């Protein structure tokens, strides 16, 4: 599973160094961390739903998720400050590369009607966000045992300075963007 990490060192670094004219390997952007996030939405009081989300994130990532609390009250959404509103997992290092390898090679091909990732989902700093409508695209989640299907958000944080650098990095890593 360390194939993605080896690919980064052997192929991605030289390709990006040549494309952007970097003088040093340390200037080449790299993936810093991956954050997987699930918001409860209207299910924030449903204990079964919350347990299902926690088990799903634990299966997908191999780590225990952290509960996210509301920072401020919003009356229109019936949210109070300090209320549990979601869960997230942050992956770094070897676990991050293993997750990305499985995501690119196993999960994305299983997504229904998949035609490629949106190349415009970058923020100004070169970070990429992916929203998934169903958690059953992951091979670890079995559709028959998962009674509640939920979506999740995946954020790939890079050290890139611009969108072009971030897009080039992820394309070289094997992310299938729409043409």
Which domains, and CATH codes, for the chain? 29-159 (3.30.1440.10)
- Residue 107 DSSP code: I
Q: Is the pLDDT of residue 161 over 80?
A: yes
pLDDT at 12: 80
Q: How many CB atoms lie within 10 A of CB 72?
A: 8
Structure tokens at 88: 């997230």
- pLDDT, residue 144, reads 55
Q: Would you say 173 and 4 are in contact if contact means Cβ atoms under 8 Å apart?
A: yes
Mean pLDDT on 125-146: 76
How far apart CA 86 and CA 37 sit, in angstroms, is 7
Which pTM was predicted? 0.84
Share of the chain above pLDDT 70, in %: 94
């Amino acid at each position: 599973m360390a194939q993605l990490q080896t690919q980064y060192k052997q192929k991605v670094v030289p390709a990006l160094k040549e494309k952007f004219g970097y003088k040093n390997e340390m200037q080449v952007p790299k993936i810093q961390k991956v954050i997987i996030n699930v918001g409860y939405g209207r299910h924030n009081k449903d204990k079964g739903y919350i347990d299902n989300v926690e088990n799903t994130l634990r299966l997908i990532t191999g780590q225990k998720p952290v509960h996210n609390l509301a920072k401020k009250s919003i009356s229109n959404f019936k949210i109070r400050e300090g209320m549990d509103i979601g869960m997230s997992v942050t992956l770094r290092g070897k676990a991050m590369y293993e997750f990305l390898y499985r995501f690119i090679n196993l999960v994305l091909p299983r997504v229904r009607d998949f035609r490629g990732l949106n190349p415009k989902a970058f923020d100004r700093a070169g970070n990429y966000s992916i929203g998934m409508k169903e958690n059953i695209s992951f091979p670890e989640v079995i559709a028959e045992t998962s009674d509640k299907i939920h979506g999740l958000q995946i954020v790939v944080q890079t050290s890139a300075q611009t969108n072009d650098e971030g897009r080039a990095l992820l394309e070289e890593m094997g992310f299938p963007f729409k043409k």
